[in-house]
Amino acid sequence: MLTKRVIPCLDVRAGRVTKGVKFKNNVDLGDPVEMAVAYSTGGADELVFYDITASAEGRPIDIGMVEAVARAVRIPFAVGGGIATVDDMERVILAGAEKISVNSLAVRHPSIIAKGAAAFGRQCVVLGMDPVRSARCPSGYEITTRGFRDFTGMDAVEWAKRAADLGAGEIVVNSVDADGMRTGFELEITRLIAEAVDVPVVASGGAGRPEHLVEVFQKASADAAIVAGMIHSGDFTIAEIKNAMHAAGIPTRMSY
């Protein structure tokens, strides 16, 4: 049985890790490379980095940061932000990242998923999505873009299915409603998408206690879960999270 993955997320702005609530009121937390090393040695299965202002500022992702992380850690990591073309994807892969995450770009230009999968393999292409509860979509969830600024009218489950058909090798479901709240993952939309696609689904947004990861694995069929504030704050360690998962009978990598 495949183990369930715990993935710290580091939002990077101006070369520093930052964290907010529902994408607002961000505070500085530290150096991304130092934090990556700490989480890698502390038991993280993977890492994900988002250059959160690259797209808004119209600049490419910070390749220097990607290269520095690749030199420092020995676990897979994904990066997103400021990726607009297949050439951008290639630069990220050559800099040492294993996966590229696309979100708003894929909504505007879905073909980037297929092009990326054809060039590098679907295992390298991650679709990030930011769904919010919405009565105007059949699933009850609508896709938003640009950090919850734009409502697209796209149904979240239908978009996940289309992205998987195009070649996305993994889908990260980041609940806007739960982001930074630390009250638990959005189980319903995570479960709906996990049941609708045949690629791994990663739950994101809302983790506050180890029990929240146990819950999303047991009740929503997630393959992995992203954590941020609960570990950045020092309230919990990855070891504590994994101990809780192991105690609940969830297959977990415990050797690190």
Catalytic residues: 11, 130
Distance, in Å, from the CA atom of 207 to the CA atom of 59, rounded to the nearest integer, reads 30
Contact 133/177 with Cβ under 8 angstroms? Answer: yes
Strand partners, 141: 133
DSSP 90-147: HHHHHHT-SEEEESHHHHH-THHHHHHHHHH-GGGEEEEEEEEE-TTSTTSEEEEETT
Number of H helices, E strands in the chain: 10, 12
Q: What separation in angstroms does the CA of 15 have from each of 18, 82, 83?
A: 9, 14, 17
